[in-house]
Amino acid sequence: MMEITLTCTECGSGISIAPTLDAKSCECKICGKEHNIYFTPEHFDGVLKDCPCCQRQDFYKQKDFNRKLGVTLFVTAALLSVWIFMSPYAPYAVAPFLVLYVFDFILFRKLKPIGICYKCNTIFRNVTNIQDIHDFNHEMNDRIVYSDHDFKGEHLDH
């Protein structure tokens, strides 16, 4: 089942929803704002063609990387490295970063790609047609976000 996390236009919190037939709107649990959503039969098969929030068809994919976790790990490695540097094991001060590097490499390869709507930043997990979705394109993003251009699902190629 596709998992959808939309970003509240009012307060920026994430709202998790799953496609259900009768869902026409969902409420932000933080600020109470109602968001209209439109599911198509494709959403029930995990196929991402239309955004249920803004009805656009332009998405990009990226790894489902948890930035907070990444920062926490990096800070931990840095502190550990300083601590080792002050100890008699100073030559091994880079060890935590090596561990972090290997860990990051393994973790990164395991992460599943997610689809994201350029227009409204809604996140889609468990997308069955993820291979049809392209990587982030800066020009597309700028034109969608700043000049409200609608690519209608066509990927910009140069």
CA dihedral angle for residue 26, residue 28, residue 32, residue 33, rounded to 10 degrees: -70
Report the alpha-carbon distance of residue 119 to residue 37 in Å, rounded.
14
Q: ∠ CA(118), CA(142), CA(115), 5° rounding?
A: 20
Asked if 31 is part of the footprint of Zn ion (rule: CB under 5 A), the reply reads yes
String of DSSP letters for 68-99 = HHHHHHHHHHHHHHHHHHHSTTGGGTTHHHHH
Q: Which of residues 61-100 bind Zn ion (CB under 5 A)?
A: none
- Measured from the CB atom, is 100 or 122 closer to Zn ion? 122
- Measured from the CB atom, is 97 or 151 closer to Zn ion? 151
Q: Which of residues 119-158 bind Zn ion (CB under 5 A)?
A: 119-120, 122
- Measured from the CB atom, is 2 or 117 closer to Zn ion? 117
Contact residue for Zn ion among 2, 4, 17, 53 (CB under 5 A): 53
Site residues (vs Zn ion, CB under 5 A) = 8, 10-11, 13, 28, 30-31, 33, 51, 53-54, 117, 119-120, 122
